[in-house]
């Protein structure tokens, strides 16, 4: 297992920036196999005023995006690559997405991804998002990295 990745290392590996960067820390990583990341969900998120004003809930599509960003970090760490101006990482598919509980301000979203397959540059990941040990969402995510 490799060491924890802080926000500065995440910013070196992912092209995403505020308000779309959805990973705060990598808790553990086993390159080529699995990664566990953390997203602190706060009331200051830009989507909460509109989703929903009287009952703030993190949109499911952003939970899936957070899992995809964790998967990107795993693939970058597995291949030794970093985000740069010559490559782009595309989200190419989602299978079996399920939402089990709402994610609300104050939650810590734990994102667990594992490599299921990597064939000809197409990565398939099993992904789970948990809050307090309970599954909030799960999906199989497919991604690929391409030259621009």
Residues belonging to the active site: 51
Among candidates 21, 38, 27, 34, which has minimal Cα distance to 5? 27
- How far the first Cα of the chain sits from its last, in Å, is 32
Q: Is 38 within 8 Å of 69 (Cβ atoms)?
A: no
Element (H, E) at 109: strand 108-119
């Amino acid at each position: 297992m490799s060491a924890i990745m802080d926000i500065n290392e995440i910013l070196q590996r992912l092209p995403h920036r505020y308000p779309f960067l959805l990973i705060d820390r990598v808790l553990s990583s086993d390159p080529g196999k699995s990664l566990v990341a953390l997203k602190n969900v706060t009331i200051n998120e830009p989507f909460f005023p509109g989703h929903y004003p009287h009952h703030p809930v993190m949109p499911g599509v952003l939970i899936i995006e957070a899992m995809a960003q964790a998967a990107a970090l795993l693939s970058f760490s597995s291949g030794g690559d970093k985000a740069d101006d010559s490559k782009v990482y595309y989200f190419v598919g989602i299978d079996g997405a399920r939402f089990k509980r709402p994610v609300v301000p104050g939650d810590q979203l734990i994102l667990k991804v594992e490599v299921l397959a990597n064939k000809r540059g197409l990565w398939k990941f099993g992904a789970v998002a948990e809050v307090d040990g309970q599954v909030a969402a799960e999906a199989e995510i497919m991604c690929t990295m391409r030259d621009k």
